[in-house]
């Protein structure tokens, strides 16, 4: 499954020794064609890791023959040496995969910022991975890109004669402008790179871009979509775009469910906004309110914290027309006390907040998590 | 000391029974003149508590004869009834203080959002407090406005023949556009309300407005400055403004040191910014990065999280010219690895981060705290 569910792709995942604990840490995904079309979306963080700077250049050509990914080090804030290391990695992949060019090899890294990668281990790992490439290697590749993820994440949508599949990693530093994550999607549909780009941007805008687990934006976020054309089918754009969206949505949900330390998945649905931008701004403000996230952790339907988060935005609304429902109970009506908060059942993992701005007809849904002592623990001991 | 350090003021703090635990919860501060000048600054949250809406109107007249403050309930998101309750409170104060007018009584409330105040207890408490008004009542008033504060906060600056003093409360929901807090400052200097307003806005802009403990902006923030003129001295503006700034700065520091669950006070100094706005934007982005706040809690000088926070801003900078020092060690130079991070000593409560944008000559300092399991615990059980 994963990135090898679609025809025309091989993959491998191995332990190169980049991670000190010996876990798998290097993945290779190869497009065996006949087509080598690709599109990519990257972090909007202005501090970009070396592999992001490299892969952005590669994707400008619209062709990717292989993707090499490592966990165990982000290769971010590593200066010119870091960029040279990324370049050397792409060169190594091109060398071991006969007939490939480094300029068509995308590179992605994840892990601690500010540390150079152990290049001897990484380059040797590329050789090992290349020797293990297989049409069944998607699962191992998905496992090799994990960092603090507790499970690996894959998704597949199969249509009439063609498939979109993919893998994702990400658990912390999950926020907009792409969550902290690496995602590789593959399809055997016969689709050109500009169509891939359009479908990928449309899909990420309403899926990964609306996952905001902890408000922290990564230096390494990368989402790639590769097409092999091996199915010899060119689907209608709408059908293709919807399949890509479904895979992105499914992977985004898996990221939220595995977020560091989280005990609740919180779906924030902003309705009756004047504009979609307003809805997203309000949803994000609620998603990033630490006090609300703590309250949800304590199964406390503290709607005052929702209103105080809405109040910090520039969205169109009148304070005395706001309504808030938590798990179906309208605890706030017209900006004041609504139905009895004791009726709110918060025992389950998913919590559904509806914020009604009463200002229009647009809507957006943002996903976040609660804030827990486990999150603090995990992130106060991460680099040491 | 506190609000009665300056001549021309009396105060009281009592337990009215608003808090279920029986702790003091009602404070009264009275300006006995001869002057009744006042200025106020309020939360920029668009969802404003009833007492904020009321006091904003009162302050437009530039005269305040008394301030009544309660803890145990924010009277926010309480609709028309909440506003009527605030009005009734001011009327009650005017009634028990002979010769006062409700339109010159400021009201401030703090506590849980979305709950109506127990008005019978509150109004009876106003009578009790009025009977206990004293020139030595400042300390008791400061104690009565505490919510989750572990200590009460007061500050006094005495100059040649005149004084500025004050009290503050605030421990959570501490963020810009004024931290979640109530502050009453008093002076016996003979200063008109427009001068008070100018001095207060100048002082809060670089003190309370740069405290950002948890990124959450309150519905109730209120900072008042009252002048009695009882010292019969009109100081030079610059000297007066500096005294007000000193008291605000001292109280702001006390808020940070008592922030909920915090184990570290973090001073974020942004230097060599192109503009002061850039410096503040970058400082706030760093202050609100949950991952960095967790790392500091773990005494981990994880400068990559500083860079990734800077990268989300619109400030002028080049990623490969950024420098970051933590407790005096330049762990990041030119956007990459700098001095050995093992040299950073993080054993003490205060942590000093310098972010050098290398883009100009402006600077700003933002104060925040670490993110701890205690913060999560305190805020997941607050309303229940």
Residue B223 has pLDDT above 60, yes or no: yes
Q: In this predicted model, which residue has the larger pLDDT, A15 or B201?
A: A15
Q: CA–CA separation, A4 vs A188, rounded Å?
A: 10
pLDDT of residue B178: 39
Sequence-distant (≥ 6) Cβ neighbours of residue A287 within 8 angstroms: A212, A215, A266, A268, A366, A367, A368
Look at B46 and A300 and tell me if their CB atoms are within 8 Å: no
Chain A: closest CA distance from residue B77 (Å):
5
**Which residues in chain A have Cβ-Cβ distances shorter than 8 Å to B291?**
172-173, 214, 216, 379
Look at A115 and B337 and tell me if their CB atoms are within 8 Å: yes
A365 φ, ψ (degrees, to nearest 5):
-120, 125
Q: CA–CA separation, B330 vs B303, rounded Å?
A: 10
pLDDT of residue B100: 95
pLDDT of residue B50: 92
pLDDT of residue B174: 45
Q: CA–CA separation, A112 vs A82, rounded Å?
A: 13
Neighbour-count burial of B269, counting CB atoms closer than 10 A to its CB (0-12 exposed, 13-18 middle, 19+ buried): middle
Q: In this predicted model, which residue has the larger pLDDT, B382 or B3?
A: B3
Q: What are the tens digits of pLDDT across the range A204-235?
A: 887 887 777 666 677 777 888 989 999 999 99
Residue B66 has pLDDT above 90, yes or no: yes
| Over residues A145-167, mean pLDDT | 89
Q: Across the A/B interface, how many CB contacts are shorter than 8 Å?
A: 221
User: Over the range A342-360, which residues count as b (16 or more CB within 10 Å of their CB) and which as e?
Assistant: eebebeeeebebbbbbbbb
Residue B384 has pLDDT above 50, yes or no: no
Structure tokens belonging to residue B322: 């950024």
Q: CA–CA separation, B130 vs B108, rounded Å?
A: 16
Q: What are the tens digits of pLDDT across the range B354-366?
A: 999 999 999 998 8
> What is the residue-averaged pLDDT of chain A?
88
pLDDT of residue B5: 92
pLDDT of residue B106: 93
**Which residues in chain A have Cβ-Cβ distances shorter than 8 Å to B50?**
none
Residue A369 has pLDDT above 90, yes or no: no
> What is the residue-averaged pLDDT of chain B?
89
How many Cβ atoms are within 10 Å of B151's Cβ, its own excluded? Answer: 12
ipTM for the complex shown: 0.75
Q: Which residues in chain B (100-129) have CB-CB distances under 8 A to chain A?
A: 112-116
Q: In this predicted model, which residue has the larger pLDDT, A336 or B92?
A: B92
Q: Which of B79, B112, B372 sits opposite A376 (nearest CB)?
A: B372
Query: Active-site positions of A?
Result: 180
pTM of the model as a whole: 0.80
Q: Which of A82, A113, A172 sits opposite B304 (nearest CB)?
A: A113
Structure tokens belonging to residue B269: 């100094």
Q: What are the tens digits of pLDDT across the range A310-325?
A: 988 889 998 889 999 9
**Where are any strands of DSSP class E within chain B?**
9-14, 26-31, 37-42, 66-70, 105-109, 153-158, 163-169, 182-187, 222-227, 265-273, 323-326, 329-333, 336-337, 350-356, 362-369
Look at A77 and B304 and tell me if their CB atoms are within 8 Å: yes
Lowest mean pLDDT among A167-176, A241-250, B123-132: A167-176
- Scanning the structure block, which residue is given the tokens 């991952």? B291
Q: Could you give the percent of chain B with pLDDT greater than 90?
A: 59
pLDDT of residue A171: 61
- Predicted confidence band of residue B254 (pLDDT cuts 50, 70, 90): confident
Q: In this predicted model, which residue has the larger pLDDT, A257 or B198?
A: B198
**Which residues in chain B have Cβ-Cβ distances shorter than 8 Å to A298?**
379-382, 384
Look at A332 and B214 and tell me if their CB atoms are within 8 Å: no
Q: What are the tens digits of pLDDT across the range A107-146?
A: 999 888 888 999 999 999 999 999 999 999 999 999 999 8
Judged by a CB distance cut-off of 8 A, whether residue A50 touches chain B is: no
**Which residues in chain B have Cβ-Cβ distances shorter than 8 Å to A215?**
288-290
- Predicted confidence band of residue B180 (pLDDT cuts 50, 70, 90): low
DSSP state of B216: P
Structure tokens belonging to residue A69: 């990914």
pLDDT of residue A114: 80
Q: What are the tens digits of pLDDT across the range B70-112?
A: 999 989 888 899 999 999 999 999 999 988 999 999 999 988 8
Chain A: closest CA distance from residue B151 (Å):
21
In chain A, the domains with their CATH numbers are 2-257 (3.60.70.12), 265-380 (3.10.20.340)
Q: Could you give the percent of chain B with pLDDT greater than 70?
A: 96
Report the relative pairing of strands A336-337 and A329-333 from DSSP bridges. Answer: antiparallel
3-state secondary structure of B40: strand
| Over residues B148-173, mean pLDDT | 84
Q: CA–CA separation, A4 vs A2, rounded Å?
A: 6
Distance of CA B68 to the CA centre of its chain: 17
Residue B383 has pLDDT above 60, yes or no: no
pLDDT of residue B233: 93
SS (H, E, C) chain A: CHHHCCCCEEEEEECCCCCCCCCCCEEEEEECCCCCEEEEEECCCCCCCHHHHHHHHHHHCCECCEEEEECCECCCCCHHHHHHHHHHHHHHHHHHCCCCCHHHEEEEEECCCCCCCCHHHHHHHHHHHHHCCECCCHHHHHHHCCCCCCCCEEEEEECCCCEEEEEEECCCCCCCCCCCCEEEEEECCCCCHHHHHHHHHHHHHHCHHHECCCCCCCCCCEEEEEECCCCCCCCCHHHHHHHHHHHHHHHHHHHHHCCCCCCCEEEEEEEEECCHHHHHHHHHHHHCCHHHHHHHHCCCCCHHHHHHHHCCCCCCCCHHHCEEEECCEEEEECCEECCCHHHCCCCCCEEEEEEECCCCCEEEEEEEECCCHHHHHHHHCCCC
pLDDT of residue A208: 81
pLDDT of residue A179: 41
Judged by a CB distance cut-off of 8 A, whether residue B263 touches chain A is: no
Neighbour-count burial of B43, counting CB atoms closer than 10 A to its CB (0-12 exposed, 13-18 middle, 19+ buried): buried
Candidates B44, B46, B292, B375: best to mutate against A (most CBs of A within 10 A) is B46
């Amino acid at each position: 499954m994963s990135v090898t569910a679609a025809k025309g792709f091989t993959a491998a995942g191995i332990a190169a020794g980049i991670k000190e604990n010996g876990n798998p840490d290097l993945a290779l995904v190869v497009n065996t064609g006949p087509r080598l079309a690709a599109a990519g979306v990257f972090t909007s963080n202005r501090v970009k890791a070396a592999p992001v700077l490299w892969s952005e250049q590669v994707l400008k050509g619209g062709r990717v023959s292989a993707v090499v990914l490592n966990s165990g080090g982000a290769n971010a804030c590593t200066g010119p040496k870091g960029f040279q290391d990324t370049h050397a990695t792409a060169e190594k992949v091109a060398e071991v995969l006969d007939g490939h060019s480094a300029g068509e090899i995308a590179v992605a890294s994840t892990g601690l910022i500010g540390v150079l990668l152990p290049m001897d281990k990484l380059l040797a790992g590329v050789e090992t991975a290349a020797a293990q490439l297989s049409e069944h290697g998607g699962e191992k590749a998905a496992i090799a890109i994990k960092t603090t993820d507790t499970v690996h994440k894959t998704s597949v949508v199969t249509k009439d004669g063609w498939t979109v599949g993919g893998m994702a990693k990400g658990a912390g530093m999950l926020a907009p402008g792409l969550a902290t994550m690496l995602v590789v999607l593959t399809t055997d549909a016969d689709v050109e790179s500009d169509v891939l780009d359009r479908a990928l941007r449309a899909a990420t805008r309403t899926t990964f871009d609306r996952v905001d687990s902890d408000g922290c934006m990564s230096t390494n976020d990368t989402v790639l979509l590769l097409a092999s054309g091996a199915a010899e089918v060119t689907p209608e754009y709408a059908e293709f775009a919807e399949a890509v969206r479904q895979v992105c949505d499914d992977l985004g949900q898996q990221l939220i469910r595995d977020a560091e330390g989280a005990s609740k998945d919180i779906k924030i649905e902003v309705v009756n906004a004047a504009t979609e931008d307003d809805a997203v701004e309000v949803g994000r403000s609620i998603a990033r309110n630490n006090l609300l996230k703590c309250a949800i952790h304590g199964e406390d339907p503290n709607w005052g914290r929702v209103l105080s988060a809405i109040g910090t935005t520039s969205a169109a609304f009148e304070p005395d027309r706001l309504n808030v429902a938590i798990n179906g109970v309208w605890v706030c009506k017209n900006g004041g006390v609504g139905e009895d908060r004791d009726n709110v059942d918060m025992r389950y993992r998913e919590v559904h907040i509806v914020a009604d701005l009463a200002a229009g007809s647009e809507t957006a849904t943002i996903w976040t998590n609660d804030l827990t002592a486990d999150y603090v623990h995990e992130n106060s001991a991460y680099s040491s």
